[in-house]
Amino acid sequence: MNPVIKTENQPTLFKQEKTKTLIDCNLSDSKRQQTITVDNKRLINSLFLTNGISLRHKSSNILETTQKQAEKQKKQNENMDKRIEKRKALAALNKVIKTESDIDDAFFCSLGPVCLKYGTPGIPPKFKKAFGISHIIAKRDYEHANNPKAFPETGLHVVKKLMDVIVYGKIVDTKPTKQCVYLQKDGFEAVISQNWHGNKVNWLLTGWKVIKEK
């Protein structure tokens, strides 16, 4: 019987069945070297394949984490922008009321720049030909004075809430024929007109607290 030589297994980074390479002593040196070379190539290919899968998995995880971080940062920036716009809206509102004048492009929302127009308060109870901030305050004050249970908020409180609705609210309806957009948030609704004497301008037309029917 010809003697056989058992070679030690090559170490690997993954679990696999132990293999034994048997090399016939009667083989020539060149044949014996070819056998060892083939086994080494198989081992190296296996290592590259395993490491390649591992690297692809790590790359995928890194990409997913980066995307999540980017989305989180984008949301934080959007929230910061909205907080800034709300402060600008309230400051502009106070100026409009104090000076009884209009402010163009007072602040920004999802519809673009918004103008605050002081307008005219109108005469109760019908408030004909009235519009603007002064009209909203006058009409809501009138409703509050005559029916405080149904209208617990004063006109000033309502217009301040409308600034929040315009900046943070969601669009719930549009009236293309009237060129108006309706936004809601926290039980209040604001109506933005997108037309001012034939020009495309966003301005606060009116707003109110939504009263749910019982």
pLDDT of 110: 93
Sheet holding 170-175, edge to edge: 103-109, 112-116, 202-209, 188-193, 180-185, 170-175
Digit-by-digit pLDDT tens for the chain (214 residues) are: 555 544 455 444 444 444 444 444 454 555 555 554 555 666 566 655 566 666 666 667 777 778 778 787 877 888 889 999 999 999 999 999 999 999 999 999 999 999 999 999 999 999 998 999 999 999 999 999 999 999 999 999 999 999 999 999 999 999 999 999 999 999 999 999 999 999 999 999 999 999 765 4
The DSSP secondary structure of the chain, one letter per residue, reads: ---EEEEPPPP-SS------EEEETTS-HHHHHHHHHHHHHHHHHHHHHHHHHHHHHHHHHHHHHHHHHHHHHHHHHHHHHHHHHHHHHHHHHHHHHHHT--EEEEEEETTEEEEE---B---TTT-TT-BHHHHHHHHHHHHHHH-TTT--S-HHHHHHHHHHHHHH-EEEEEETTTTEEEEEETTEEEEEE--BTTB--EEEEEEEEPPPP-
Q: Which two tokens stand for residue 81?
A: 């922008």
Q: How many residues does the chain have?
A: 214
Tokens representing 203 are 């301005």
Angle between helices 132-146 and 155-168 (to 10 degrees): 130
- The predicted structure's pLDDT at residue 12: 47
Phi and psi at 29, nearest 5°, equal: -60, -40
pLDDT in the model for residue 21: 44
pLDDT at site 17:
43
Overall pTM > 0.85: no
